[in-house]
Structure 1
Amino acid sequence: MNYKLQEHEDLLQHADPLGQEYPLLASLTSLDALRALPAEQLPVLAAEMRGLLVQSVTATGGHLGVGLGVVELTMALHRVFSSPRDAIIFDTGHQSYPHKILTGRAGGFTRLRQAGGLSGYPSRAESQHDWVENSHASTGLAYADGLAKAFKLTGQTDRRTVAVVGDGALTGGMAFEALNNIGASGRPVIIVLNDNGRSYDPTAGSLAHHLTQLRQGGVPLSQNLFTRLGLAYTGPLDGHDTTALEEAFHQAAALHRPVIVHTITQKGRGYAPAEADPADRMHACGVVDPATGKAARPSKPSWTALFGQEITALAEERSDIVALTAAMRLPVGLGAFSARFPERTFDSGIAEQHAVTCAAGLAMGGLHPVVCLYATFLNRAFDQLLMDVGLHRLPVTFVLDRAGITGPDGPSHHGMWDLALLSRIPGLRLAAPRDPARLSTLLREAVDICDGPTALRYPKATAGPDIDAIASLDGIDILHRTPHRPLDVLLVAIGVTATACLDAARHLAVLGLGSTVVDPRWAAPVNPALGSLAARHRLTLTVEDGIADGGIGTLVAHHCSASGISGPVHTIGLPTTYLAHGERDDLLASAGITGPSIADSACRHLSPPAPDHHGLLPSRLSRSTP
């Protein structure tokens, strides 16, 4: 991105309704106007910003609690530092909503996390004030260390680097590695510690205990973790006192050395439903009633909720089952499990790498660990899975929530890489349940496996009805077979794509083409029976909501080739690119993962049509075919 280093950037991008409901906010036409605002007007501005956040986020869904907690802190940052000349980094990025409001994007909150609208995280495409697109926690200090080095090496010693770090983000290993480097460097990195006692769940580990001691004033400087690592320390400060924060930031900048400014904030501040929520202070929410904070309409059971019920029931039966997560106990469905079995629940903080290798140790000790993560966050611990679990053939089960397209959370959260990554782990068995019944069955099968790791993955979505098999072949479920037709197309459905594949079979039948729809249940390694089925069809299409390049379809094609099966194998999946945020169904449709699109693809591969006289290839199937 080409950063325009202007201190007087025009920020007139507010929508008209902003002026009607939030007049002071609408009057701020630049960051200079914010800096010139009299101190007595800052509480009014803070109230307007909170009003806009509640109004917008409850209407679209998004991260609410932490943004409400950093309003005054963000105002103080932008009154002291000159963004984007001074680099301000948020770790994690869900703290950046007030930053977006103050940097010209307040009017865009009506389309927060919607296709073509504002991202729910910092976005370099949106604004030159957003330096990094981080939602994976614990990275901000490393970015800041690198920027400070770059500024020094290029002679830009008047530019300052500020990292706003949530206390939960400090539990990640990268944050400790960065503190180790920053403290020894002497470079002027200003670390603003946003301490609200939780990232999502309460902050875990001895760091949380140390921060509590700092808040209570019971730690001498000689025992302060940060000073012992070579950083200056100031605080703890009231994170809602803008005047005190501004003074502290000026003093930190004047030190010209690494410094921690420890601020205490209240997550969910100013919004009664969030303040009254003991679980997570409305860390994230869907569309809710702004007056109550409750869901505006009843929701169907989610995959996450169904998993939570099943793992708790399993643990009642088996005392060897333990559960691990990385600061996401409630989002991954471990609420009931942790309440029933607190001694068998382990939260590593935002430290996926530690969680995975810790699970290896638990398995070595005779237990069966179930590691519950978002699919996208498993990427961070791939080496640990490969070398610490896989190499030792340890019985560890990985349950990956938010697999495939997650929707409004965007490119950092789409769990679209897991199939390609996990299918390369020697000895790992990978399952993708298509419905609630298969989730229950496959989870039980997974924890019964004792000679290597297993993984289950499912999407961020409501779970549909069960799809019963009409037959089974060596562990493969046959979901559909067109009667009295040739075997033209074998549709291999990976997990929840079964619904689209069954729809495609109906469209193909209208065109006179016979098809078989199968669910291998265990997607990797490839079941040899799948090759036998492929050999009896003219075309095999695999359909998966992960990247097509290197995913399950690639494994099936390699298996068929190695087995001497000559029929073509093609994959329908997601493109190898960073997909923007939007509605899940829309993003899947754009990738061709719908019944009509799958059927259309099958027609093209079976008999490529000849070009017409304009050189165009006509579609063999209308998208509106019933």
Structure 2
Amino acid sequence: MAAEKPQTPLLDTIGSPADLRALPREDLRQLADELRTEMIDAVSVTGGHLGAGLGVVELTVALHAIFDTPHDRIIWDVGHQAYPHKILTGRRDRIRTLRQKGGLSGFTRRAESEYDPFGAGHSSTSISAGLGMAVASDLLGTRRNVVAVIGDGAMSAGMAYEAMNNAGAMDARLIVILNDNDMSIAPPTGALRSYLARLVSGPVYRGTREAAKAVVSKLPPFLHEPARKTEEFARSFFTGGTLFEELGFYYVGPIDGHDLDHLLPILENVRDAEEGPILIHVVTKKGKGYGPAENSADKYHGVAKFNVITGAQAKAPSNAPSYTSVFAESLIQEANDDPRIVAINAAMPNGTGLDKFSEVHPSRCFDVGIAEQHAVTFAAGLASEGMRPFCAIYSTFLQRAYDQVVHDVAIQGLPVRFAIDRAGYVGADGPTHAGNYDSAYLGAIPNMVLMAAADEAELRHMVATAAGYDQGPIAFRYPRGDGVGVDLPARGERLPIGKGRVVREGNTIALLSYGTRLSEVLAAADRLATLGLNPTVADARFMKPLDAELIADLAGRHDLLITAEESGIGGFGSHVATFLASNGLLDGGLRFRPLMIPDTFVEHASQADMYAEAGLDRAGVVATALTTLGYDEAAMAAALAKIS
């Protein structure tokens, strides 16, 4: 029996932020409570990011109450904080389509709403984007407020500080709200701290401060700097904002981000201030208002569908381990025997499985924060001293460190091991998180060894292969989700570099897979066999170096060669095509068809739906083979039925 939908009488009257601004201030607490209830109920149905959004409910209400959105710009960084924002900005009727095919995105998205001025699937971009908007507003003569809400660890990325340094030097009219949801900088200390924050954000204090500056300007020059430091010290003694002041920001906080009585007047004061930039340090609790999420912030950061009463998440049973867990367990095995092996992640210990590694080898596991560039160069430094670093980063996030991979690792020939998780389509997280490009961007780098695991057993072998490879950089990719259910070897074996394997011998058609499309390719081969064709199936294992001997053999004894991969143009198929053309292997009539992720951004859906749409499932492989050879599947099936 389905749970009864919660009653939200006040929220039911809100069709847009304008409706919210028409409410009496005393009603906003009730509205926030109802908004939190609605978000919990919605995410229990769809799954998605839960904890971060619960932590900003009051802040979301306060921002839309004080600022004239959408004329005033609010940028959410990272975008998964924005579920309450979506509910308040005319999308409540679709909130239960979140992350579903054809439904709302799990992140902010410009094409989705005028209230989303900037898309944010990756973190730490809001201050840069906000600064651009603020400068554009000045240049165009448009008076508007620009607010960047940055949090959930995003301030650990260097890009945020680069933007703050630029904004402070420009004296831009920009408001940054630091949503400190893990008390990483300074905790609030009760009513006195909140009162002081309200005081220093107000016009009386600011006016007094400006008057004091005027007085100081009349003093002898040698007293200017001591006076400035005295004022700064007096305020930072209470607020802890020296770092932000040095970057050129006027600092307010920290304040309790769940106390509307303090949030509203402070935001009003800042809205009406003429100077900038300003940073408001707001302390919130991730998962606020929902017990299971408050007590286990990591497990309720991103959730499957769950029972609202118990908090139990509904996950489909699987007979196979996840690729991520196989990577972690395999790396632990290798590290147990090799003290030189260390592991690095960029604020994703759970997502990459390195939380398990850390339990066994805590002194050899490093979480560097949302700082992929630093992670890669840190790994390079470790490698330069003889360590064997494994840098575990999602494919979509490794994009942020491309220069470091080229300059700091590859050019210097350093043996950094890249464990590339979430390769290929990722499903509900959509195009911002799809791992479609690493094969192409890493494949362009000389002397880079690239592997892709066909199943969980192959992944174990590839971890062992990478652990023992010291000749330069090496990478292996694997997808989100569970394996295919093959038997796992007790230990991984080192694979010969650049050598694939033939999985099934046949004729006429050669199907060459790179990565976990192998199971679908084998299923396609079974279907083709029922139609009277008997394809050869091979697993490439390596994209760099290519197995030239294997590819030449397949090309020489088949009429059609089809490659299949979970990456886009410039990946495995492109490298095979270059090899075939360069060696004259297309001159004898061989037909070649590469199957890859299309050259387009694909919106969120299930992984199965995405691969089917791309023609990378068994039906797509069969259709490509038969169409290329001029066969009709239905006619062939009918003819075979008559014979039998």
1:261 aligns with 2:280: yes
In the TM superposition, residue 574 of structure 1 has moved relative to its aligned partner by 0.9
SS in 1 for 2:68: coil
Q: Judging changes above 3 Å, is the alpha-carbon distance between structure 1 residues 586 and 125 closer, same or farther for their aligned structure 2 residues? A: same
In the TM superposition, residue 513 of structure 1 has moved relative to its aligned partner by 2.0
Q: Judging changes above 3 Å, is the alpha-carbon distance between structure 1 residues 151 and 493 closer, same or farther for their aligned structure 2 residues? A: same
Measure, in 1, the Cα distance between the counterparts of 2:6 and 2:123: 37
SS in 2 for 1:411: helix
1:285 aligns with 2:285: no
In the TM superposition, residue 321 of structure 1 has moved relative to its aligned partner by 0.6
In the TM superposition, residue 345 of structure 1 has moved relative to its aligned partner by 1.1
Equivalent pair of 1:600/1:621 in contact (CA under 8 Å): no
Equivalent pair of 2:188/2:255 in contact (CA under 8 Å): no
Equivalent pair of 2:410/2:473 in contact (CA under 8 Å): yes
SS in 1 for 2:403: helix
1:534 aligns with 2:555: yes
Equivalent pair of 1:531/1:559 in contact (CA under 8 Å): no
Q: What is the aligned partner in structure 1 of residue 230 from structure 2?
A: none
Equivalent pair of 1:92/1:169 in contact (CA under 8 Å): yes
Q: What is the aligned partner in structure 2 of residue 39 from structure 1?
A: 25
Q: Which residue identity does 2:55 align to in structure 1?
A: G
In the TM superposition, residue 537 of structure 1 has moved relative to its aligned partner by 1.0
Measure, in 2, the Cα distance between the counterparts of 1:552 and 1:167: 36
Q: Judging changes above 3 Å, is the alpha-carbon distance between structure 1 residues 167 and 232 closer, same or farther for their aligned structure 2 residues? A: farther
SS in 2 for 1:21: coil
SS in 1 for 2:378: helix
In the TM superposition, residue 619 of structure 1 has moved relative to its aligned partner by 7.9
Q: What is the aligned partner in structure 1 of residue 224 from structure 2?
A: none
Equivalent pair of 2:5/2:41 in contact (CA under 8 Å): no
Q: Which residue identity does 2:329 align to in structure 1?
A: Q
Task: Give per-residue Cα distances to partners, 1:543-583, cap 9 Å, x unaligned.
Answer: 01111x21100101111122221223221111111110001
Q: What is the aligned partner in structure 2 of residue 226 from structure 1?
A: 244
Q: What is the aligned partner in structure 2 of residue 575 from structure 1?
A: 598
Q: Output the aligned Cα RMSD.
A: 2.5
Identify the match of residue 244 of structure 1 among 245, 262, 282.
262
In the TM superposition, residue 144 of structure 1 has moved relative to its aligned partner by 0.4
Q: What is the aligned partner in structure 2 of residue 118 from structure 1?
A: 104
1:68 aligns with 2:54: yes
In the TM superposition, residue 511 of structure 1 has moved relative to its aligned partner by 2.4
In the TM superposition, residue 376 of structure 1 has moved relative to its aligned partner by 0.5
Measure, in 1, the Cα distance between the counterparts of 2:521 and 2:272: 63
Measure, in 2, the Cα distance between the counterparts of 1:123 and 1:594: 29
Q: Judging changes above 3 Å, is the alpha-carbon distance between structure 1 residues 194 and 620 closer, same or farther for their aligned structure 2 residues? A: farther
Measure, in 1, the Cα distance between the counterparts of 2:309 and 2:503: 46
Q: Judging changes above 3 Å, is the alpha-carbon distance between structure 1 residues 260 and 620 closer, same or farther for their aligned structure 2 residues? A: farther
Q: What does residue range 166-185 of structure 1 map to in structure 2 within 5 Å?
A: 166=151, 168-185=153-170
Q: Judging changes above 3 Å, is the alpha-carbon distance between structure 1 residues 324 and 621 closer, same or farther for their aligned structure 2 residues? A: farther
Measure, in 2, the Cα distance between the counterparts of 1:381 and 1:329: 18
Measure, in 2, the Cα distance between the counterparts of 1:127 and 1:332: 32
Q: Judging changes above 3 Å, is the alpha-carbon distance between structure 1 residues 599 and 570 closer, same or farther for their aligned structure 2 residues? A: same
Identity rate, percent: 40
Q: Which residue identity does 1:265 align to in structure 2?
A: T
Equivalent pair of 1:600/1:619 in contact (CA under 8 Å): no
Measure, in 2, the Cα distance between the counterparts of 1:185 and 1:39: 35
Measure, in 2, the Cα distance between the counterparts of 1:19 and 1:500: 41
1:163 aligns with 2:183: no
1:596 aligns with 2:619: yes
SS in 2 for 1:234: strand
SS in 1 for 2:393: strand
Measure, in 1, the Cα distance between the counterparts of 2:328 and 2:38: 34
Q: What is the aligned partner in structure 2 of residue 613 from structure 1?
A: none
In the TM superposition, residue 53 of structure 1 has moved relative to its aligned partner by 1.4
Identify the match of residue 95 of structure 2 among 82, 89, 109.
109
In the TM superposition, residue 112 of structure 1 has moved relative to its aligned partner by 0.9
Measure, in 1, the Cα distance between the counterparts of 2:290 and 2:109: 26
With 562-571 and 290-299 compared, the bigger mean Cα shift is at 290-299
Q: Larger radius of gyration, structure 1 or 2? A: 2
1:605 aligns with 2:623: no
Q: Which residue identity does 2:528 align to in structure 1?
A: L
Equivalent pair of 1:375/1:418 in contact (CA under 8 Å): yes
SS in 2 for 1:115: coil
Q: What is the aligned partner in structure 2 of residue 5 from structure 1?
A: none
Q: Judging changes above 3 Å, is the alpha-carbon distance between structure 1 residues 603 and 262 closer, same or farther for their aligned structure 2 residues? A: same
Which structure features the higher share of helix residues?
2
In the TM superposition, residue 298 of structure 1 has moved relative to its aligned partner by 5.5
Q: What is the aligned partner in structure 1 of residue 543 from structure 2?
A: 523
Q: What is the aligned partner in structure 2 of residue 191 from structure 1?
A: 176
Q: Judging changes above 3 Å, is the alpha-carbon distance between structure 1 residues 412 and 214 closer, same or farther for their aligned structure 2 residues? A: farther
Equivalent pair of 1:239/1:264 in contact (CA under 8 Å): yes
Equivalent pair of 2:241/2:251 in contact (CA under 8 Å): no
Q: What is the aligned partner in structure 2 of residue 3 from structure 1?
A: none
Identify the match of residue 54 of structure 1 among 17, 35, 40.
40
Equivalent pair of 2:504/2:536 in contact (CA under 8 Å): yes
Task: Give per-residue Cα distances to partners, 1:6-44, cap 9 Å, x unaligned.
Answer: xxxxxxxxxxx9997322111113322211222332222
1:311 aligns with 2:331: yes
Task: Give per-residue Cα distances to partners, 1:362-386, cap 9 Å, x unaligned.
Answer: 0001101101111111111111111
Q: Judging changes above 3 Å, is the alpha-carbon distance between structure 1 residues 297 and 406 closer, same or farther for their aligned structure 2 residues? A: closer
1:396 aligns with 2:420: no
SS in 1 for 2:517: helix
Measure, in 1, the Cα distance between the counterparts of 2:421 and 2:611: 17
In the TM superposition, residue 600 of structure 1 has moved relative to its aligned partner by 1.1
Measure, in 2, the Cα distance between the counterparts of 1:69 and 1:276: 13
Q: Judging changes above 3 Å, is the alpha-carbon distance between structure 1 residues 44 and 223 closer, same or farther for their aligned structure 2 residues? A: closer
- Unmatched runs of 5 consecutive residues or more in structure 1: 1-16, 199-207, 610-617
Q: Which residue identity does 2:48 align to in structure 1?
A: G
Measure, in 1, the Cα distance between the counterparts of 2:465 and 2:451: 10
Measure, in 2, the Cα distance between the counterparts of 1:620 and 1:173: 60
In the TM superposition, residue 260 of structure 1 has moved relative to its aligned partner by 0.4
Identify the match of residue 299 of structure 1 among 317, 341, 352.
317
In the TM superposition, residue 359 of structure 1 has moved relative to its aligned partner by 0.5
Equivalent pair of 1:111/1:118 in contact (CA under 8 Å): yes
In the TM superposition, residue 56 of structure 1 has moved relative to its aligned partner by 1.5
With 222-231 and 410-419 compared, the bigger mean Cα shift is at 222-231
Q: What does residue range 359-370 of structure 1 map to in structure 2 within 5 Å?
A: 359-370=379-390
Q: Which residue identity does 1:87 align to in structure 2?
A: R
Task: Give per-residue Cα distances to partners, 1:108-161, cap 9 Å, x unaligned.
Answer: 1211100011110011221110011111111110000100110011111x2110
SS in 2 for 1:117: coil
1:446 aligns with 2:460: no
In the TM superposition, residue 312 of structure 1 has moved relative to its aligned partner by 1.5
In the TM superposition, residue 525 of structure 1 has moved relative to its aligned partner by 2.2
SS in 1 for 2:115: coil
Equivalent pair of 1:124/1:133 in contact (CA under 8 Å): yes
Q: Judging changes above 3 Å, is the alpha-carbon distance between structure 1 residues 93 and 402 closer, same or farther for their aligned structure 2 residues? A: same
Measure, in 2, the Cα distance between the counterparts of 1:296 and 1:467: 26
Equivalent pair of 1:599/1:621 in contact (CA under 8 Å): no
In the TM superposition, residue 323 of structure 1 has moved relative to its aligned partner by 0.6
- TM-score, length-normalised on structure 2? 0.86
Measure, in 1, the Cα distance between the counterparts of 2:53 and 2:326: 30
Q: Which residue identity does 2:283 align to in structure 1?
A: I
Measure, in 2, the Cα distance between the counterparts of 1:20 and 1:350: 37
SS in 2 for 1:350: coil
SS in 2 for 1:324: strand
Tell me how many residue pairs correspond in the alignment: 581
1:510 aligns with 2:530: yes
Q: Judging changes above 3 Å, is the alpha-carbon distance between structure 1 residues 537 and 19 closer, same or farther for their aligned structure 2 residues? A: closer
Equivalent pair of 1:59/1:287 in contact (CA under 8 Å): yes
Q: Judging changes above 3 Å, is the alpha-carbon distance between structure 1 residues 503 and 621 closer, same or farther for their aligned structure 2 residues? A: farther
Q: Which residue identity does 2:446 align to in structure 1?
A: P
Equivalent pair of 2:174/2:278 in contact (CA under 8 Å): yes
Identify the match of residue 401 of structure 2 among 378, 381, 396.
381
1:326 aligns with 2:349: no
Equivalent pair of 2:54/2:288 in contact (CA under 8 Å): yes
Equivalent pair of 1:193/1:262 in contact (CA under 8 Å): yes
1:29 aligns with 2:49: no
Q: Which residue identity does 2:245 align to in structure 1?
A: T
Measure, in 1, the Cα distance between the counterparts of 2:141 and 2:4: 41
Q: Which residue identity does 1:544 align to in structure 2?
A: E
In the TM superposition, residue 465 of structure 1 has moved relative to its aligned partner by 1.8
